[in-house]
Amino acid sequence: MTAFPCKPALLLTLVALTGFAASPARAQSTVADGEKLAFDRGKGNCLTCHVIRGGDLPGTIGPELKDIKTKYPDRNELVAILFDETKRNPQTMMPPFGRNRLLTDQEISAIVDFLQTL
Ligand code: HEC
């Protein structure tokens, strides 16, 4: 009985430690997930408009996506572009994936992880 008050704290520590240990593997898999989403014609469909390394039959309506980390060192900028590029450029052809709920925040985050490897 006396040990009971300590349990939640112990559990929290365990959860935190497990999450910490798992994070490198998770980072790896979000890059893979992001690539899949970006190439998926029913999801990101980025290849319709962008040349992306490793992607088949790209279109050229938008610029080639490369050296992304140099161009956009701040990942929040990329999230903003994916969420709603019309904010930067009202005339853009690029769909506002976040605003239109074509992609969830989590999917956008995975795609940004992938973009940062290009
Ligand atoms: C219908 C065409 C279209 C689709 C689909 C599209 N884009 Fe774009 N994208 C563009 C255009 C055009 C631009 C050029 C900037 C502008 O129009 O504001 C652009 C710009 C960008 C930029 C900035 C590039 C730079 O060099 O500054 C990024 C990053 C980007 N798109 C990522 C994506 C990703 C990731 C997807 C898929 C989830 C995607 N785009 C889907 C048309 C598209």
Q: Which residue, by CA, sits nearest to atom 3 of ligand 1?
A: 94
Tell me, using a 6 A CB cutoff, whether residue 55 lines ligand 1. Answer: no
CA 68 – ligand 1 centroid, Å: 12
Note the pLDDT of residue 69. Answer: 94
Q: Residue 38: which of 93, 102, 85, 100 has the closest Cα?
A: 102
Q: Which residue, by CA, sits nearest to atom 5 of ligand 1?
A: 46
- The CB density around residue 60, as the number of other CB atoms within 10 Å, is 9
Note the pLDDT of residue 21. Answer: 53
**pLDDT digits (tens), the chain, 118 positions:** 555 555 767 666 655 655 555 556 666 789 999 999 999 999 999 999 999 999 999 999 999 999 999 999 999 999 999 999 999 999 999 999 999 999 999 999 999 999 999 9
Q: Which residue, by CA, sits nearest to atom 16 of ligand 1?
A: 92
Note the pLDDT of residue 29. Answer: 84
The closest-lying atom of ligand 1 relative to the alpha carbon of residue 46 is: 37
**Cα–Cα distance between 94 and 81 in angstroms, integer?**
9
